[in-house]
Structure formats: C-alpha cells, structure tokens
Structure 1
Amino acid sequence: MNNIPTLIVGGTYTNNDIISAFKCGNMGGMRRSHATNSLVLVCDHTKDLYDDKWIGNTLHYTGMGKRGDQRLSNQNKTLAESAESGIGVHLFEVFEPREYVYRGEVYLASEPYRDIQKDEDGNKRSVLVFPIALRHEEIPIGAYLINDLLNDKEYKAENTPDHIVLQRAIENQSDIVSQREAVSTIYIRDAYVSEHAKRRANGYCQLCEQPAPFLNKEGKPYLEAHHVIWLSQDGPDTINNTVALCPNCHRKMHVLNEEEDKQYLLNKINNETND
C-alpha cells in the first residue's frame, strides 16, 4: 500500500475524497488502483441490486457484474487473489446517498462461493460472494444510520404494488438474518417481508382479530410487523414467521410471548399461505 492518506475509521467521506485518497476510479463497487496498490470496495445499502449482508463479523459481499453470470476476472479476481498479491483492500459502506462511511481495511475471510441472485434486468444469474472481515476491531455504526435506512426501505415497500411486494417478499425472505452492532444490536429485517404481512392481514390484527386501532397519515390501517420466533432468538425473516399485530398485541407478545399465542399465529400463517 503506497501513499494513502490516513482515513478515520467510522468517518464519512465523499466520492471525491475516495478518488483523491486512493487514486482510483469514480464509479463502481470495486475500484482497483495501481498507483496505491489498493482495491476499494463500496457496499451501497441504498441500492437493491446486490444482496450484501453481515453475518456475524463477516460481510458477504457480492462481486462485480450487473448482468449475466459473474466471472472470476477483473476486480473479482483481484479480490480473490488479494491475500497472495498483498494488495490493500478497503471497505466503505453507504447508508445515505453520496455519503461513504470508511470501515477500514478488510481481508478475504474464506473462499468465495456461488449464489443465485437477480441481475439488473430481473433475470436469475450466478454471482460470486466474497466473505470479508475487518482487519481491526470494529467500530459500531451509528444506530441512526441503520434506522434511517430501514425506514427508507419500508417507505418504498409501502408504496409498491401488491404483486411486487409478494414477489420481493418471497425472493428476499431468509433463514439467516443480517445483524449489525450499533449502540445496540440491530436486526436487518426485510421491508417487503414485513409489508407483505401487513397486507395479508388486510387491516386486522392477526392475534386479537380486531380492526387496526387507527389509520396512519396515509390513511392505511396501522399494524406492526412481528416475528413469531424472534430474530434475537434466531428466528427467520420469512413470510411464514411474520405477522401483523395491533400495538397492544405486539407489546403483549414481547412481554409475555405465551406459547399458546405463538402456536395460534403460526397456524394462522400456515392456513393463510395455503389458501
């Protein structure tokens, strides 16, 4: 690594700052610089094309290539061979447009593997996923960044047609839930899975079966998404584990979490999804 100015881990930078510091290109999620013998990785959470997620202390980072099957060439090959080549790999995360949070230097934690994701045209394709980890102690992300990001995704899901919400909920549901260390641990639930549960409930709490207690500012019944098996207890973020409850029943489930209520909700989901 040559002549890279000191960047503050956890600091927020502009795209021009990155270009100036690393002498790299101005676009893309993987930016190679021969001048500084470095590879800059950008994990942009505001975009939906790549399914990047943190599992424990490892970021499962999708490789380069927006259309068709990804190949182990160009910067994908650079990252795959980074341990042998000695290139410095640096990670930035984006939670708000045009704001790049520097996470520090990273390394390839294990061998890359193949996954199936959709390309920018909506076609299924084979992608490369690189498990990467921070070289130094992690500095927690500000909780407000993650909460603002989740709120933006939920707003987008709320304003999406029913058939697209169902399609995205099926595609995005996962048995493994991404989580981040902030001021407290935050579980990254999928906005479309939650929104599908609310639309499936059709304005009625799925536990007490009463109408939503009020309408929100958009005139929609106010219900809250709830995971029957909690995410903090390794519950999946899936259609079959997510319900919509009134605020009173939601609080009841978090205070009492009675087995009878859990089984009732799981049976209700099963009956609804099989209708």
Structure 2
Amino acid sequence: CNLLLEADSYFNDENVDMVRINKHSTIKYYCYNDSCTTNEAGINALFAYIISEFKKSIKQLEHNDYDEYLLMWLSDKLFKIHIESIGKKNIKGYMDNFTLNRAYEKYLKKDKVKSNYWDLLNIIPGLKNANLKYMSEFYKLLNNICITIAYYNDKYVKSKKLSKYSKNCLTQYRTLYMNISECKSYLDLLNKLKGIYDDFRSSAIKKKRSNNNLATNLQTITTEDGVEMDAVRSFKTYNFSDSKCKFSKKKTASSKKMDKSSLQPSNQLKD
C-alpha cells in the first residue's frame, strides 16, 4: 500500500510530475536514456520502480502473489490517459471495450524503459484481457483500502475519519459488485481485495480490544443486501471470454453508478 500511495503522489490526474521523476535517481534509472521526456515514459519508469521495490520487500516465493494489484494501479493511470486521448474525459460513467493489454499496447509500449516488466506480469493467465474501466474501478477500491490502512496506522484515534474511509471501501465494493457479479473472474478479483480489507480489519480489532468502537468504525464489507461473501486469497487464473464478462452497451447505464463511488480523489489522504 505504501508504495502505491507514494506512486500516486506523483500524479495530477493522468499526468505524472516529470520534474520529480527525473530528480528521483532510483526512478530515473528506469528511464531509457537516463531521462524521461514524455508522460508515458514517466509512467513506465514509475511502474517499473514500484514493481522492483515491491518485490524486494517480499519473499521470492511471493513475487507473483500481488500482480493483480500492480496491474490495477497501472489500469487506473491508463484509463485516465485513454479517456483524455479520445475526448471522453468529461463524460460521466464513460466505458468502452478497451482492455488493459490494448491500452498498454497503444499508450505505453512505444516508450521503452530499462525493464521488461510487462513480460514479468504474464504469470497470471488472462488478467491483461480485463476491461480497462473495470480494472481502474478495482484500483479505486484498493486505493480506498490503502488509505484506510494508512490512516489507521497514523491516526486511528480519530474514529470519525476512520469510519468515513471505511465507508468509502464499502461503497466502492458494493458499486463494483452490482456491475460485475455475474462474471466469476471479476468477482474473484473483487473478493481478493475484500481479503486485504478483512485481514486488516481483523488484525486491527484484535490489537485494539480496548477500543469498543473499532469493530463499528471499520465496517464489515457486504453486498447491498447484507450478504458477506468469502474473501479470495488463493492464486487464481482469469478468463474474461465469457459473455457475462464482456462489455456491452447495455451495461453502460449501470456502469454510470460507478461515478457515485468516487467519494474522494484516488491519490489523496487528508487529515
């Protein structure tokens, strides 16, 4: 979470702060000619940096256990570039059939970096064929979870704020569930994120038994009708070829609900 939040701090909407990128020697290292000159090159270098630093922090056997979350982060940035490039940035709930892989091929592949990260992320079959918009929405949930965890670690005493951030997680989870529940692969992705939240929530409540409000302020994640689904923690493969997983114009109206979930910018944590 800390690495993803750090990386988000380099962005203003779809644009990365090139001055900061080129001043950060470790990130700049990944720039193809020791300097990033385009927005896309900056994103590539930043993503290569995230992957490298993240995999240094975990055991080698776990190196591919978190690839879904890394690709969600990249999808969030690519979707913003995509809707800007096609003039749809100001259309609420806009969605099309662009996949993550197609977006990478169109917007990032030509900007080389000193890393073959795209090939390294092939370990999870099918995931790159996920819809770009949905993957960006999964990142909104992950980002809300990370913000909740970061706020708890720093200022858990301020329970009203903690409750607000937890509610953001619940709202985004339910919004996603309403839109993707018929597709097993998307549902697995959703409940993998729920697993992160559940593990954090259980650990926090156990550590702070004297705080009677914590179990309430850190809300249980359920569907709109109050059903709590099982978290997914095991390795999964993904297949989005089923018609229930495909984008269709009929789904566009329901996808507009996703705008309601954007309760706060995905790169901000305020006191």
Report 1 or 2 for greater relative contact order, CA contacts < 8 Å, sequence distance ≥ 6: 2
TM-score past 0.5 threshold: no
Q: Which has the larger radius of gyration?
A: 1
For normalisation by structure 2, the TM-score amounts to 0.31
